[in-house]
Structure 1
């Protein structure tokens, strides 16, 4: 059972998932702080290269299975054209003005 994107608790996380699923790269980047960082499976990655390769060039899609921590932690069935589908976990650090300063993802 997945959670409808519109029902996700945190507005920034809801917008992040919406942008990924709509393949809206410019909308996605507007959600991030200018100095945003990310990690994948515990290793920091180059943000621009990672989002291009893992989300936009490979048509990434997020089906949220569970949320916790006021909507800032997700369990997601994530799929893209490169890796297929996998269960992943996501954590988001959100600034006071509602932008994402860091996200972390990895196998769940």
Structure 2
């Protein structure tokens, strides 16, 4: 059973992923947002296209901490299937400036 993130910006991110809504996803990110996957910085636009929007990505939140800025979620896409992942978000003025993800 998926829970909602208590941080509204992070919840908007998760909702956009789950809806496949690229416009809403882009709107929640700061213009210069960055990200990493398994500890390696990635090109955000290329990663998001490949891992989320071209592969029907979906997040089901299992738990959260740090006021909703840290999540453990089952991330599923058509490339890798389902995997337990950790997510950490940095939010500034209601927009995500960085997110880090990797296997949990």
Q: Normalization by structure 1: what TM-score?
A: 0.94
Return structure 1 stretches of 4+ with deviation > 4 angstroms.
none
Aligned-residue CA RMSD (Å): 0.7
Report whether the alignment pairs 1:103 with 2:64.
no
Residue 38 (structure 1) shift = 0.1
Q: Show CA shifts across 1:12-71 (max 9, x none).
A: 000000000000001100101110000000000000000000000000000000000000
Q: Normalization by structure 2: what TM-score?
A: 0.98
- SS of the aligned residue for 1:30 comes to helix
- SS of the aligned residue for 1:70 comes to helix
* Unpaired segments ≥5 residues, structure 2: none
- SS of the aligned residue for 1:102 comes to strand
* Unpaired segments ≥5 residues, structure 1: none
